[in-house]
């Protein structure tokens, strides 16, 4: 019997006022991180789950979904969450780079 895993994708659009906020707690080093680097770091540290709790799903049995991957694209970053790492079904993805390539098969 095949185990069914819950997967969730979240796209955060870059170039918006939300994505350009100052996400770093303190800038300790002399090197200034870009807005995108700060946003990715905030995602890895779990800040998005605190800011936007209503969009984060749980598995069918109530378990937390974990951030396994961040995909950086030209105009967004994609967060891949699931109970455990696994391949994303490209046809079911909201990432346009995934589902547009599958569109020609329909």
Using alpha carbons, select from 100, 81, 75 the residue that is nearest to residue 90.
100
Is 80 exposed, middle or buried (CB count within 10 Å of its CB: 0-12, 13-18, 19+)?
buried
pTM for the model stands at 0.79
List the domain boundaries for the chain.
7-103
pLDDT tens string 71-103 = 998 899 999 998 888 887 777 888 888 767 655
pLDDT tens string 33-86 = 888 888 999 999 988 888 888 988 888 888 889 999 999 988 999 999 988 888
């Amino acid at each position: 019997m095949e185990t069914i895993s819950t997967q969730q994708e979240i796209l955060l659009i870059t170039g918006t006022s939300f994505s350009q906020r100052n996400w770093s707690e303190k800038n300790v080093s002399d090197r200034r991180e870009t807005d995108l680097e700060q946003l990715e770091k905030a995602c890895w540290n779990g800040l998005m789950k605190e800011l936007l709790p209503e969009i984060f799903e749980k598995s069918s049995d109530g378990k937390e979904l974990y951030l396994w991957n961040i995909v950086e694209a030209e105009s967004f970053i994609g967060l891949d969450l699931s109970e455990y790492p696994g391949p994303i079904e490209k046809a079911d993805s909201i990432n346009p780079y995934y589902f547009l390539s599958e569109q020609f098969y329909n």
